[in-house]
Amino acid sequence: MDFSSIQAAAQALAQANRVVISTGAGMSADSGIPTYRDRNGRWRDFLPFSQVGLTPSDFAHPPGYRERPQHAWAFAEYLRRSMAQAPVHQGYDVLTEWMLRRIPQSFLLTTNIDDLHRRADVPETQFYERYGNLWELQCLERCTPHWWRENRVELCTLDTSTMEASNFPQCPFCQGLARPRIQMAYDEEFVEKEAGWKFYQNFLASGPVDVYLIIGTTLWMTWPEGQEPNTIIHINPDPNTHAHYQSPIAVTMGAKDALVGIDWAWRQMRKG
């Protein structure tokens, strides 16, 4: 463990009044959810599909839902079932605790679609899922601007020998084909959840950000002029990723261990 970076991160957060947190696929890796683009990621070699000669990037988008719904929905269904079994690791609980009690003036943006932050009870008004949520559905043809929540884990019949789905979910408004409310490639019909984006814009408008905490993502935010954060904390086990940011507090660890470590160091400071 890199104690110096852990302590530096804890000190920066302890002194901060306003914090923005960004999480990505690396946040979920400790829950057993593969990232998208690493060597074993979902796009490059997703074993259940590659074994039957399928590549998700060929159909996991709106045109794929229209032309090959049996494969597109098989991918979504397989992910939903896998993610439903993924545990909410301790790092998620740490972030929720910070946001509720230690840094109430904080906001969390995630590019993840796995629902784990919601399962960890992150405050709704301090949270925005930039690319949507796999547990929310919308009409494929966007017959309505509305979306709906679907908590059932098994939405389709899934044949794991062929990785084909059947009995697809329907839009309750037009009875057409439904799709996950997630931002995909070639996606002009994505239904944005405007409330989350407004919460974030209101947060930025209410004052400058002291710390930008980045966990397992390459997401970089655009800040209003003169409101760039004073401190960047970057958590990623790949040391090469730290070079993307100017003089960050670089924590070269996985999300769970880093957050638990920072929380421990912060607690020790509070005792002192």
pTM tops 0.85: yes
Hey, what are 42's tokens? 């979902």
Residues with Cβ within 8 Å of 211's Cβ and at least 6 positions away in sequence, in order, are 12, 13, 16, 18, 19, 20, 229, 230, 231, 232, 233
Rounded mean pLDDT, 28-52: 69
Angle, helices 255-271/90-97, rounded to nearest 10 degrees = 40
Better pLDDT: 93 or 219: 93
Q: Residue 107, class by beta-carbon neighbours within 10 Å (0-12 exposed, 13-18 middle, 19+ buried)?
A: buried
Indicate if the alpha-carbon torsion angle 221, 226, 227, 233 is positive or negative. positive
Helix (H, G, I), strand (E, B) or coil at 227: coil
- The β-bridge partners of 110 are 23, 129
Q: Domains in the chain, ordered, with CATH?
A: 3-271 (3.40.50.1220)
Lowest average pLDDT, out of 9-18, 91-100, 244-253, goes to: 244-253
Q: How far apart are CA 20 and CA 122, in angstroms?
A: 14
Residue 47 pLDDT grade (very low, low, confident, very high; cuts 50, 70, 90): low
User: Per mean pLDDT, which range of 35-44, 141-150, 221-230, 231-240 is the poorest?
Assistant: 35-44
